[in-house]
Amino acid sequence: MPNPSIGLVDKKSFTLPGALTLESGERLAEVSLAYETYGELNAERTNAILICHALSGDAHVAGFHPGAEKEGWWEIMVGPGKAIDTDRYFVICSNILGGCMGSTGPSSINPVSGKAYGLAFPVVTISDMVKAQKALIDHLGITKLLSVIGGSIGGMQTLEWSISFPEMVFSAIPLATTQRHSALAIAFNEVARQAIMADPHWQHGDYYGGPKPDLGLAVARMIGHITYLSDTAMRHKFGRRLQDKNDFSFNFDADFQVESYLRHQGSKFVNRFDANSFLYITKAADYFDLTTRLTQEGKSVLSKALARYLVISFTSDWLYPTRKSKAMVKAMKKHNINVSFCEIEAEWGHDAFLLPNPRLADMLSGFLDRMTKEYHL
Amino acid sequence: MRFDLEVIASWITPRAKVLDLGCGTGELLALLRDQKEAACTGIDLGEDNIQSCIARGLTVIHGDINEEVDDYADHTFDFVILSQTLQQVYAPETLIKTLLRIGRRVVVSFPNFSHWRCRCQLFFQGQAPTTSQLPYYWYNSPNIRVITIKDFRAFAREASFTILSEAAIDTDSHEHQGRIVTFLPTIRATYGIFLIGSQGQGNE
């Protein structure tokens, strides 16, 4: 089946008009966000959808950059006639604050020192990322987003948007996400961070211009990949099959396919991702906790939400399991919020939201269609 | 449209807030939204049902009705509908009490086990009845409870809730055609449909 693509797209950049005050109290003097947009904003400015990317994603959701072979990370879902239909909607995605794909992060130049920030970059939170995105949405002249959509850490940003700027979010679709990390999720992140920090090239974050902590970052990515799959997915994908050999090598080469896969994923990742960004983003995700945050009146922050929600989880996701989504839905029901929820049967683990899934596509498209109607009521 | 759902829909006031338990593919929810401008939510255990509902623009929650209903605040809904599901509920009294807490009115419908076909099969053949409303054998039936219209009235007194309206209906095997039965309803009706409220609530 030929999939129509949005085609050639380009990356844009937006610099915030002033300094950004962070949740920690620190200020970032200069903040730029890399972003992409697809489709046309209608005259009433009512068809804008913001997509929030996950840990290793970027602003390049769909289409192709000039000269590039690889399409954007959610090409299957975003494009003309697709679930998030660029013929109908104006789709925006920006690289997160703290990232390394064009937005200000630890690898950016610190205006004070004239060198890359490294660990001088302040610790940012999910709320800080959303605050920076909000400046971009203001800049684009959009007062209310038809929908904010995101999976995993993108789902955290989606939730954060709906409570930080409730009047700007008509609907929200948090996918495969959680109101807060479990100890298990924090533990995996911590092991991944330790792998980076144990790399002698890490140099307390001050490695720009010299050799990078590639080994540490590759191990961090390998750990991540284990948590994105599932027992079933790994059994089907690899089993105990050997990689390009019929017998054990009796040394420490990658004998098993799963070893070879993880090594490949790890080494591929270091070419496109900054190790310090990995530290900052995972820390932001670990800090995120919607359940303990209160309004000035002492009520749960969810009491501020005005969005209609569609919450989706996947059966084999053990990083952000269904019970996490159910807890979120339960809290939303208690606050009389309009919420729909579906647990999709999928064997591919946490990464299921990124894989082709006609059932997910139907739900997204039906929900967005309903939101378009309700927005204009 | 199933005849029993049409009867239920006729009881729902315009622009009401409605919860439909075991909403299936959302037939009733869509009808109430389109004809009554009702603010509807559905709950269903079937993933396929939930996907159909969300794809057609309905608000639904994937889960077990017995657990999901507990989360709502008191009187969140004007109407809670339990259509053709009571006979499968493990703890009917607990569930109905919860429904009367979260909703001002509750609609309950169930296949009437005292229909003449059931009576005849038991009386003449000496076998557990299987009808188009209850098409299972004892060993594969999800319907763990047998309820008659009279039983439900007695249950209302026992469990201290008020019956505000009731309709006994006789439907054909496809359930699309039907009529209200007023003469000998406990024998001739295939389904009983009740509108109930907490004790002390009158017809407002």
User: How far A367 CA lies from chain B's nearest CA (Å)?
Assistant: 5
User: How far B62 CA lies from chain A's nearest CA (Å)?
Assistant: 5
pLDDT at B133: 87
Taking CA–CA distances from A346, the nearest residue in chain B reads B47
Q: φ, ψ for residue B156 (rounded to 5)?
A: -60, -45
> Which residue of B41, B54, B80, B101 is the best one to mutate when testing the A interface, meaning the one whose CB has the most A CBs within 10 A?
B54
Scanning chain B, the segments in alpha helix (DSSP H) are: 3-11, 27-36, 47-55, 65-68, 92-102, 116-120, 149-158, 185-188
Half-sphere exposure of A95 (CA within 13 A, CB side): 26
Chain A contact for B60, CB < 8 A? yes
As annotated, the active-site residues of A are: 152, 317, 350
> Does residue B94 sit in helix, strand or coil?
helix
Which of B54, B71, B76 is the closest to A342 by Cβ?
B54
Task: Round to whole Å and give the CA distance between B80 and B95.
Answer: 11
Residues of B in contact with A326 (CB under 8 A): 63
**Within a domain: residue B134?**
no
Q: How high does pLDDT run on average in chain B?
A: 93
Q: Which CATH architecture has domain A185-283?
A: Orthogonal Bundle (1.10)
**Location of structure tokens 């270091």:** A270
> Does residue B65 sit in helix, strand or coil?
helix
Cβ contact B146:B87 at 8 Å: yes
By residue range, what is the domain housing residue B72? 3-111+147-198
Scanning B44-132, the segments in alpha helix (DSSP H) are: 47-55, 65-68, 92-102, 116-120
**Location of structure tokens 């499968």:** B88
Of residues B78, B101, B84, B72, the one with CA closest to residue B21: B84
> Does residue A280 sit in helix, strand or coil?
helix
**What are the sequence ranges of the domains in chain A?**
12-181+289-375, 185-283
What residues in chain B have per-residue pLDDT under 70?
Answer: 173-174, 201-204
A 343-362 near B (Cβ less than 8 A): 343-345, 359, 362
User: How far A206 CA lies from chain B's nearest CA (Å)?
Assistant: 49
Element (H, E) at A365: helix A358-375
B 177-196 near A (Cβ less than 8 A): none
Which of A326, A330, A362 is the closest to B51 by Cβ?
A362
**Within a domain: residue B88?**
yes
Neighbours of B194 (CB within 10 A): 23
Chain B contact for A304, CB < 8 A? no
Which of B50, B61, B73 is the closest to A329 by Cβ?
B61
Element (H, E) at A270: helix A257-270
Task: Round to whole Å and give the CA distance between A339 and A312.
Answer: 11
Task: Round to whole Å and give the CA distance between A138 and B140.
Answer: 60
Question: Taking the model in full, what pTM does it have?
Answer: 0.95
**Location of structure tokens 């009702």:** B38
Convert A39-76 to b/e letters by CB count within 10 Å (16 or more is b): bebeeeebbbbbbbbbbbbbbbbbbbeeeeeebbbbbb
**Within a domain: residue B42?**
yes
B3: amino acid identity, one letter: F
Chain A contact for B73, CB < 8 A? yes
How many angstroms separate the Cα of A177 from the Cα of each of A150, A284, A286, A325, B42?
A: 9, 14, 12, 7, 23
Q: What does the pLDDT profile of chain A (377 residues) look like in tens digits? A: 446 899 999 999 999 999 999 999 999 999 999 999 999 999 999 999 999 999 999 999 999 999 888 999 999 999 999 999 999 999 999 999 999 999 999 999 999 999 999 999 999 999 999 999 999 999 999 999 999 999 999 999 999 999 999 999 999 999 999 999 999 999 999 999 999 999 999 999 999 999 999 999 999 999 999 999 999 999 999 999 999 989 999 999 899 999 999 999 999 999 999 999 999 999 999 999 999 999 999 899 999 999 999 999 999 999 999 999 999 999 999 999 999 999 999 988 998 999 999 999 999 999 999 999 999 87
User: How far A345 CA lies from chain B's nearest CA (Å)?
Assistant: 8
Q: Residue B60 burial (CB < 10 Å; 0-12/13-18/19+)? A: buried
pLDDT at A1: 43
Chain A contact for B54, CB < 8 A? yes
Chain B contact for A370, CB < 8 A? yes
Which ipTM did the prediction report? 0.92
Question: Are the beta carbons of B62 and A343 separated by less than 8 Å?
Answer: yes
**Within a domain: residue B117?**
no
CB pairs < 8 Å spanning A and B: 57
Question: Are the beta carbons of B55 and A366 separated by less than 8 Å?
Answer: yes
**Within a domain: residue B104?**
yes
Question: Are the beta carbons of B61 and A365 separated by less than 8 Å?
Answer: no
User: How far A342 CA lies from chain B's nearest CA (Å)?
Assistant: 5
Chain B contact for A194, CB < 8 A? no
**Within a domain: residue B22?**
yes
Residues of B in contact with A334 (CB under 8 A): 71-73
Chain A contact for B61, CB < 8 A? yes
Taking CA–CA distances from B77, the nearest residue in chain A reads A336
Q: Number of folded domains in chain B?
A: 1
pLDDT at A27: 95
**Within a domain: residue B138?**
no
User: How far B5 CA lies from chain A's nearest CA (Å)?
Assistant: 23
Chain A contact for B57, CB < 8 A? yes
Of residues A73, A72, A89, the one with CA closest to residue A81: A89
pLDDT at B172: 77
Chain A contact for B51, CB < 8 A? yes
Question: Are the beta carbons of B63 and A341 separated by less than 8 Å?
Answer: yes
> What residues have CB less than 8 Å from A107, skipping those under 6 apart?
A100, A116, A117, A208, A274, A276, A277
Residues of A in contact with B53 (CB under 8 A): 340
Q: Which CATH architecture has domain A12-181+289-375?
A: 3-Layer(aba) Sandwich (3.40)
**Within a domain: residue B39?**
yes
Residues of B in contact with A310 (CB under 8 A): 54
- B27-36 helix and B3-11 helix, angle to the nearest 10 degrees: 40
**Location of structure tokens 């017995």:** B66
Cα torsion A146, A152, A157, A159: sign: positive
Task: Round to whole Å and give the CA distance between A334 and A312.
Answer: 18
Which of B50, B57, B71 is the closest to A342 by Cβ?
B50
Residues of A in contact with B61 (CB under 8 A): 329, 333, 339-341
> Which residue of A310, A357, A359 is the best one to mutate when testing the B interface, meaning the one whose CB has the most B CBs within 10 A?
A359
What pairs with residue B83 in β-bridges?
B109
Which of B47, B55, B72 is the closest to A362 by Cβ?
B55
What pairs with residue A49 in β-bridges?
A91, A147
Taking CA–CA distances from A327, the nearest residue in chain B reads B71
